[in-house]
Chains A and B, each alone.
Chain A
Amino acid sequence: MNIHINTDHGTVSPYRIFLLLAIAAGTAVIIRQCVKRGIALRKSLLLAAMIPPMCISCAAAFAFVTSRGSIIGFASIGAAAGVYVAALLISLIWQSPGERTILLQNCTFALPLMYGIAKIGCFTAGCCHGIAYDGLLCVRYTGKRIGDICVFPVQLLEAAVFITIFIAGMVFLKKHDIHSVEKVTILSAAAKFTLEYLRKSHSHRALSIEQAVCLLATIVCLINMKKSQKRQAAAAQSVPQ
């Protein structure tokens, strides 16, 4: 069974629709979590207003800079950075202790959902497509920009994996797992690192910039978890019997 997608669209492309949906869904999750965890509605709405432009600006800037000016597009790592920058800016405007951590945590939980929905948009546009493949469920893209190619549907696989990671993150949060942020980050980084090898753009490269960022994020999270466990052990020992 093959899937055929014609990438020649009119003025409004499905890619842009899914990108906007991704930002809207992520923003909705962030607002809900912020309000539920005690952040003022006013601050949550300002964060919601800042996320779309920061997300898109940083995604475009990251793609432009890492491709040395040859690519006009959006990079997922840049978009994630944009979301975090928006949260940091809010915490600068309203300096309440502890709230910056909550904002950054909620952004981390929402990012896999945003990425998953955005990948569906990539699937419709033919960008970030997989390696050449003509087996079951191969995707045949046709169009002026992309030509005629048969590739692996890596975007669909990424969408499924990351939406699952988002659901897992919500389950961790509901169970009050103190390492839920680290677990979501490690799972997302591992998935991104692994699935990168199924992309056409990764051929002829040992390690991409995105994979390097994923490795770094994983190391930081593991160190954080270790420190947190040591702190808890020390606190448990200091409690008088």
Chain B
Amino acid sequence: MKVMFYEIQDCEYEPIDGKPAIIAPEGTDAELLRKYRFIQLLDGRWCHYMNRDEIAYMNNRAAAQAVVFSDEMNIAPPRRRLSRESIRLMQRIGSLLLLLIGGCLFTADFMIGYVSIGTSFVLLMLSFYDADNKKVPEWRPITDNSQQYTNPSHKSRHTGLLVVIIILLLAPIMSMILFVAAINACVDSVTQSANDTCSVSEE
């Protein structure tokens, strides 16, 4: 079945690893493919894994020779935000400062030997936590009885928060492990010194 996927013509529908996907024709501009969230497989083909709205839309036109996805439909296209918006995001002063501080702290800690990676890691994570797209377009229901796709930004924020909490729990555990190991090393060196002193005095 041929699929006209927005600006990308003559795509082929093909399930990949059991998931419905669209394969772009060979020779399509890579930037255009990245814009529409195509990813490159190991064999060099570019594919776009279809979401529920797109699958439902395609299922409703299963008998057709070709399926056309266009901006006039009720499905929000999977376009990536323009590059200048990404740059604007990265230029948010708070995120950039946290990233710099976290990075410098991590490097300095690691070089000097006091491995307080927990603090620097939390800062690094926090600098990206707010990187989720706040301006996700509203998902509107398709007129032909398909389910409304829920806004994914809330789900990814909650998952991101969960990850930060897990990391915050990991940091003290790692610190404790290193602390215990340092104590063991000190005890061993003291014991060794005592043994050396005993053997010298015996001599």
Task: Report which A residues bind B (CB closer than 8 A).
Answer: 11-12, 16-17, 19-20, 36-42, 45-46, 49-50, 52-53, 56-57, 60-61, 64, 69-70, 72, 89, 92-99, 101-102, 105, 173, 176-178, 180-181
Contacts and interface: CB of A to CB of B under 8 A. Distances in A.
A72 B178 contact: yes
Nearest to A40: B80
B42 A180 contact: yes
Nearest to B170: A57
Contacts of A50: 124-125
B181 A64 contact: yes
Contact of B46 (A11, A20, A38, A178): A38
Contact of A56 (B43, B110, B127, B131): B110
B40 A37 contact: yes
The winner among A11, A16, A17, A57 for most chain B CB atoms within 10 A is: A57
A198 B178 CA distance: 29
A174 B99 CA distance: 33
Interface of B: 16-17, 19, 21, 33-34, 37-44, 46-47, 49, 80, 86, 89-90, 99, 102, 106-107, 110-113, 115, 117, 120-121, 124-125, 127-128, 131, 152, 155-156, 159-160, 163, 170, 174, 177-178, 180-182, 184-185
A49 B90 CA distance: 14
Given A49-B99, A57-B170, A95-B155, 4 more contacts: A19-B110, A20-B111, A72-B185, A96-B49
Contact of A99 (B39, B44, B89, B160): B39
A16 B39 CA distance: 36
B42 A98 contact: no
Q: Give the dominant DSSP class at B's interface.
A: helix
Contacts, number: 108
A176 B43 contact: yes
Given A49-B125, A61-B174, A178 B42 contact: yes
Contacts of B112: 11-12
Contacts of A178: 41-43
A95 B177 contact: no
A105 B106 contact: no
B94 to A, nearest CB: 15
Contacts of A98: 16-17, 19, 21, 39, 47, 49
Nearest 4 interchain pairs by C-beta: A176-B44, A38-B39, A97-B49, A53-B121
Nearest to A12: B111
A100 B182 CA distance: 37
